[in-house]
Chains A and B, each alone.
Chain A
Amino acid sequence: RKEVEQDPGPFNVPEGATVAFNCTYSNSASQSFFWYRQDCRKEPKLLMSVYSSGNEDGRFTAQLNRASQYISLLIRDSKLSDSATYLCVVINQAGTALIFGKGTTLSVSS
């Protein structure tokens, strides 16, 4: 099983749509989880951390299910500017490295 797995997409949605991305991770001892965003040929940037209780930041909601080793990201009211690749990221057991999924590509159209 790969360390972090994501559906690569692409997800093509119209403006205003709600879209959800899923991610699974293999190391049950992982303690920290994130969603990063990467625009084409740019560096990854932190979108939000993911907490066990779930957390929301404006139109973005992240959920963590430790029992299933599953992380999700929900984007409501999609904007054109949300078009990017969304990277699921898990800290390794030692806390010394970010382990990235391959990313899910989102394309929002008008």
Chain B
Amino acid sequence: EPEVTQTPSHQVTQMGQEVILRCVPISNHLYFYWYRQILGQKVEFLVSFYNNEISEKSEIFDDQFSVERPDGSNFTLKIRSTKLEDSAMYFCASSEMSGALGDEAFFGQGTRLTVV
């Protein structure tokens, strides 16, 4: 079964450092997403991406965050200068069609980011 893969599974970084979280969405999917989940809290939307541009972003997704699809397979989330409160599980997801059509979003297993 096709799956969304994320690397690394766990990353520890010092406050103020830049991190890049990597995702390989399912190959025929066109819509890509990043979500995060702080321990014990709900899954929060960060950004959606379609046709090589951001289609929506939340208030959390400020200037410290950026996304990129550098080639035909990878989808990355960059945090420029990490803060302690960025510590969370970051999930990448992809879907074949728009969520507005009720299409299922498939999630990767997540990257646990710990900022120290």
Contacts and interface: CB of A to CB of B under 8 A. Distances in A.
Nearest to B109: A43
A46 B105 contact: yes
Contacts, number: 69
A42 B109 contact: yes
B100 A43 contact: no
Range, interface on chain A: 20 to 34
A4 to B, nearest CB: 8
A41 B35 CA distance: 14
Interface in A39-62: 41-46, 49
Q: Chain A interface mostly helix, strand, loop or mixed?
A: loop
Nearest to A50: B102
Range, interface on chain B: 20 to 34
Interface in A77-110: 87, 91-92, 94-103
A101 B101 contact: no
B75 interface: no
7 contacts: A87-B42, A91-B100, A95-B99, A96-B56, A97-B33, A99-B45, A100-B42
Question: Which 5 A-B residue pairings sit nearest by Cβ, starting from the closest?
Answer: A95-B100, A96-B56, A43-B107, A32-B102, A100-B43
